[in-house]
Amino acid sequence: MKSMIFAFLAVAVIAVAADFGLDYAGFSSQDATSGPSVRLD
């Protein structure tokens, strides 16, 4: 069952890493589709 638990942990780690990674790379919707004249925050 260790493999299953490690895999589920890996799912969580990959998801968090993907979220941070895509934000860092400028792929958030905010970065990708808004302009300087659009206020989102």
Contact residues toward another protein (CB under 8 A) are 1-4, 6-8, 10-11, 14-16, 18-19, 27, 29, 32-35, 37-38
User: Residue 6 CB, nearest distance to another protein (Å)?
Assistant: 6
User: Residue 41 CB, nearest distance to another protein (Å)?
Assistant: 16
**Selection from 10, 11, 40, 14 nearest residue 28 by Cα:** 40
CB 26, CB 32: distance < 8 Å: yes
φ and ψ at 27, to 5 degrees?
-100, 15
User: Residue 35 CB, nearest distance to another protein (Å)?
Assistant: 5
